[in-house]
Amino acid sequence: MGKGCIAATKYFLFLFNLIFFIFGATIMGFGLWILLDNQNLIALLEDSSMVLKVVSYILIGVGSFSMLLGFLGCLGAIYEIRCLLGLYFTCLLLILLAQVAVAILIYFQRDLLRKEANKIVSQVVVNYPGQNKTAEQAWDYLQRTMQCCGWNGRQDWFGNQRIRNSSVELYPCSCHNSSHPVPNVADSGFCQASSNDWPIYETGCMENVGSWLFTNYGIILGICLGVAVIEVLGMILSMGLCKSVHQEDYTKVPKY
């Protein structure tokens, strides 16, 4: 490989490592967002299940590792350090295999994950309002923004202790259907209904969340494929540069 090709490979590899570094920073930021932001569904799940709570720390760890790997790859590319290039290739290969394994695991365990999510949300709905303020704020936010009520439907709220024990007809304010003009509707807590025909959204949040994922699956799939392509190209470039550096070092060895 000529010097021009080596230089091009080196700077292309540097660029890919820079992208990988930014990608790691994004993942770490996403993990921190899960921990600190209480206005999302993930915060609800993270606060209610120890298994899902660990996910945020895993994302932070993976993001930090990706940033470190990108930094080492940049050093290996610029200074043509073979050991760093080899370590970079090995780590990328392990990450790619781990991503494939996680995707397969999620696919085959999707029913179990669905049951776990249903169990978590049911606990929040039954005990609402309780001590788990973060989960309740996240759940109210989800119902308002996704225009849904309950996980499976309004019937989930029939088991709520406050609604069952109330002498008046109550319904969750975050389920309120905006097409029913009622003044001064709160964003959380319970509102009083004039009859058992609650002015709420009838669709369950599980259906609406599933519809949102189906609508945006192209974007999600594109991001996943883009990450995989970057990783594969990084592996190819690192091995090509490592081989070129080896050949260059070999030609410099004096022959007797």
CATH code for the structural domain at 130-220: 1.10.1450
Answer whether 72's CB lies under 8 Å from 19's CB.
no
Over residues 243-247, the mean pLDDT reads 63
Range from 36-40, 100-104, 112-116, 149-153 carrying the lowest mean pLDDT: 36-40
Segments making up each domain of the chain, as ranges = 1-127, 130-220
- For the cut 60, the answer to whether the pLDDT of residue 201 exceeds it is yes
- The DSSP string of 112-151 is HHHHHHHHHHHHHHHH-SSS-HHHHHHHHHHHHHHT--SS
- For the cut 60, the answer to whether the pLDDT of residue 46 exceeds it is no
Over residues 11-17, the mean pLDDT reads 79
In this predicted structure, what is the pLDDT of residue 4? 64
- For the cut 80, the answer to whether the pLDDT of residue 52 exceeds it is no
Higher model confidence: residue 167 or residue 214?
A: 167
Over residues 160-188, the mean pLDDT reads 82
In this predicted structure, what is the pLDDT of residue 96? 81
Model confidence over 132-151: pLDDT tens digits?
A: 566 777 788 888 888 889 88
Answer whether 129's CB lies under 8 Å from 136's CB.
yes
Give the containing element (helix H, strand E) for 54. helix 50-79
Q: How far is CA 204 from its chain centroid?
A: 22
Q: Is the pTM for the entire model greater than 0.75?
A: no
- For the cut 50, the answer to whether the pLDDT of residue 253 exceeds it is no
Query: If pLDDT is split at 50, 70 and 90, which confidence band does 45 have?
Result: low
